[in-house]
Amino acid sequence: MPIKKGDTLPSVELEEGTPDKKVNVRDLFKGKKGVIFGVPGAFTPVCSKSHLPGFVADYDKLKSAGVDVIACVSVNDAYVMSAWRKENAAEGKVRMLADPSAAFTKAVDLGYDATGSLGGVRSQRYSMVVEDGVVKCVNTEPDKTGLSCSGASSILSQV
């Protein structure tokens, strides 16, 4: 069953920057208010043109609304996520967390089989508000990949 309001984030380690730099998702949001958004793949069209840039552009608004951490999760390796962070000027704004084995994606049950287009299991497109490790709301795109409810503008009204 997909993660839902009231659930606690799973204790899963993701990678940030390089494969040896581990970040435990539950620990990252302990005592903090934050946003996690998941994307099917770094450098893919909607992810690169709209989803990530929206969170970068609305960074100041989200911080003003009390958000301490903004994290992007994708089933990619840490090097790809690092390059994507640089490409989108997300440094210091959005934590780019690689989920190379889809461990987090599977733990929150928000994956889908994208073998035909992206080579394997990928994350559905979603966003969630988290407070002290507890999910306050989840926005999952109905078609798994579109951008109708999981963008920064939608999250702003929920934080």
Q: Which residues are catalytic?
A: 47
Beta-ladder partners of 24: 13
Return the exposure string of 59-80: e unless at least 16 CB atoms fall within 10 Å of the residue's CB, then b: beebeebebeebbbbbbbbbeb
Residues 6+ apart with CB under 8 A from 60: none
24 three-state secondary structure: strand
Using CA atoms, how far apart are residues 122 and 34, in angstroms rounded to an integer?
22
Closest CA to 35 of 60, 62, 53, 15: 62
